[in-house]
Structure 1
């Protein structure tokens, strides 16, 4: 099911065959079992859960499993116990835990817990439509339980959230090549016109900026599909480094409302809506970039309080709550006129788009050096890296930038997969957005 899952996720091993086998076994014990099995099966097929030909992608203990071979599926289900796969779900009023399930459930003839498992595998592009079916579906979708199931099963869809010079916030689904406009943000004119920063964490899109009354954060909630004010940081800031991993995000450095360069850092928990102050970094810095890699949070580049370019990086260990300085992690540093480092992490490998040489570089962790990988599909030096987005989207790198064509100005989304030894492969154009301008203001990738 390429639309939904991260195919490289180890947590998905043998789950498709095991889920279907479990459905068949469950329904085989009841009347009208074939009808119920077929209903669930069609729901998965509708979302391309199965390929058009027998697959041998799932592995159990190193062995390939043919999803059409029931004997091998039986081994797969034993290798991954269903008690570990299935969430503990309280049966709702629509389902009968002792018999066949009533017709007022999510899917007629299916128990609610089984129906919820099936719905978790559907594309989240369908969730807004499903929430309009009835009150029961609306409560399920907006309550966020399906996203918890998706996390449990390792189901990930990466969407691109983009704001450009002539385009308000929109979401792009790469698997369906579909653009969706977000509701208008109910902020004041100052926030609309001021510089902003963005960050996706959990099922939330955070946009940081300045209102008439001071620094503020607006949050788009994927569950409710509405904007609201987010809990402010303990020390509001701008021009900071940031990165997210699952339901948490970390911001570090930046400037406060008076322009003072900060040394502090904070952790945001999207489920609790709470900011926690972390230990200070070793150096104050602004215009730096942050990212998670190998379970650690890193900050590289930026400018010090004395306006000096910083070439060192810092690593934060979430377990020991300590910072470690890494000399020369970002040689060349960042000048005051340049954008923060354009960096992205794919499969725990760090890449950077060099603003001056227009190439993609890969970081060698062991030797603390950068190696050139391939040219960028667009020029980054013409505007010192501003107006260009360089992001990780699943197992691919995205470069998003503006182009002028005979029909006007467009935004192009370029994609390239750095794994598999295909360094010579060309950049693929995922989509072209017309009437969006040529300057990318903000970009965030949400995977859930």
Structure 2
């Protein structure tokens, strides 16, 4: 199937086509992407009714309901394209009584059908794959996710594991929680500390099994767990981040506890690890992020006692590292506990702007790239100092910052996890407050792992 942007017409209203469709309610474009789509609501209605009419079981669809609305949509499509599409009402038969063609959506060329399907919410993909073998093969191939990446279409889902809740996915748009299958790992991996990273359509969970370091991978395509190839130099306590289908892991500790300065790049399309040039300094308990197309590592410790305030920037074009002095001075801030007891820096990047959640002051800070300095912009909705930053997630989700932690500002003994969101464009400390995106009961008061997958 050849990709081609074939939907370039403007939105046109069809007179007299006011109706309420139960099918369209379940097949909608992502709300956050409507402003940059070139597909009118009529296109979505057309797709919904083509899919409905093409289903094998149509006994629950009243012919009196289907025909007038399909006829209205068809006339609207004539006005947009100058020709009438063929709409299948029964299996193997079209409205003209002739045999249907073998295209993905009868009456539409495959390029146009793929563009429409790519722009639909990925929450609908499991249902679409149940229509027939052709749709199941398309969804299972992962092609639509590659096409979405080319079109710049992205939906962020939150993947979360808490002390009383195994891995679950949360769809902010649909406000829907989904349980992931259990990882088929040994008891050692289940009980050990883990790190997570979302890259492409994969969720990687790093940990230790009895045999050594292991990586389990959850695939959005297969909806199942499988083993991921281990790194060339397996490690833990590293800094990491992803950009599209690639991710970079830097620093950390090896199986003997040695602090590393090596880095590796993971390609989720190929399933391979590539060794990158070493950083200038070894570091563990650090954090990584992408900003302006470059990968950064900040914070952490160069030994069991020495804390690092500098950061490092990796340029993927020149394959070189650049040291940035005092990029994260927070590690030298005073406190009751030793720096080794604090969590890695809680950082997130929204629209190429870096933010951090201070574990000591419970404040959100904004990084100034020009002056290499930080300024306070907001107070956190939960306490980060409760456990030195551990048990709290601070992530970017679309255009917003996401803080996930125990309910209220106390220790969270009630076992409720609250997802708070705030869009920095709405203003700073005097602007909009944090909004509650979701509440999950009986999850526990401690967030073990969290990753945001955008695809």
Does structure 1 retain, via aligned residues, the 8 Å contact 2:103–2:110? yes
For the pair 1:368 / 2:357, whether they are aligned, the reply is no
Q: Normalising by the residue count of structure 2, what TM-score does the alignment of the two structures yield?
A: 0.78
In 2, are the aligned partners of 1:44 and 1:121 still within 8 Å (CA)?
no
Aligned to 1:426: 433
Q: Aligned match of 2:448 in 437, 441, 446?
A: 441
**Residue 219 of structure 1 contacts residue 230 of structure 1 at CA under 8 Å; is this kept in 2?**
yes
Q: Cα gap change, 1:50/1:336 in structure 2, threshold over 3 Å: closer, same or farther?
A: closer
The residue that corresponds to 2:144 in the other structure is: 146
Distance 2:323 2:288 in 1: 14
Relative distance call for 1:186 and 1:422 in structure 2 (3 A) is same
C-alpha separation in 2, matches of 1:125 and 1:292: 27
Q: How many residues align?
A: 380
Distance 1:223 1:149, change over 3 A: same
2:436 aligns to what SS in structure 1?
strand
Report the 3-state secondary structure (helix = DSSP H, G, I; strand = E; otherwise coil) of the residue aligned with 1:120: helix
Distance 1:20 1:320 in 2: 38
**How far off is 1:137 after superposition?**
1.2
Partner of 2:126: 128
- Establish whether residue 245 from structure 1 lines up as the match of residue 251 from structure 2: no
Query: Relative to structure 1, is the Cα distance of residues 280 and 444 closer, same or farther in structure 2, using a 3 angstrom cutoff?
Result: same
- Cα pair 1:101 1:110 within 8 Å, conserved: no
Rounded Cα–Cα distance in structure 1 between residues aligned with 2:39 and 2:270: 42
> What is the CA RMSD across the aligned residues, in angstroms?
2.9
Question: Per-residue deviation at 1:375?
Answer: 0.3
Post-superposition offset of 1:323: 0.5
Q: Which blocks of at least 5 consecutive residues in structure 1 are unaligned?
A: 1-14, 25-33, 60-64, 69-93, 95-99
8 Å contact from structure 1 (residues 297, 317) kept in 2: yes
Local SS of the residue matching 2:242: strand
Tell me which residue corresponds to 1:348: 352
Answer with 1 or 2: which has the greater Rg: 2
Residues 44 and 122, structure 1, Cα contact 8 Å, conserved in 2 = no
Structure 1 residues 192 and 181: alpha-carbon distance in aligned structure 2, compared to 1, 3 A threshold: same
| Alignment TM-score, normalising by the size of structure 1 | 0.79
Q: Cα offset for 1:108?
A: 3.0
Give the corresponding residue for 1:408.
414
Cα distance between partner residues in 2 of 1:136 and 1:66: 23
Q: CA deviation at 1:139?
A: 1.0
Residue 64 of structure 2 is matched in structure 1 by none
Structure-1 separation of matches of 2:355 and 2:385: 17
Structure 1 residues 408 and 295, CA gap change in structure 2 (3 angstroms) = same
Aligned residue in 1 for 2:174: 176
8 Å contact kept, 2:304–2:340: no
Number of the residue aligned with 1:396: 400
Please list, as runs of the form range in 1=range in 2, the aligned pairs for 1:298-337 lying within 5 A after superposition: 298-333=296-331, 335-337=339-341
Alpha-carbon distance, 1:48 to partner: 4.3
State the 1:116 CA deviation: 1.7
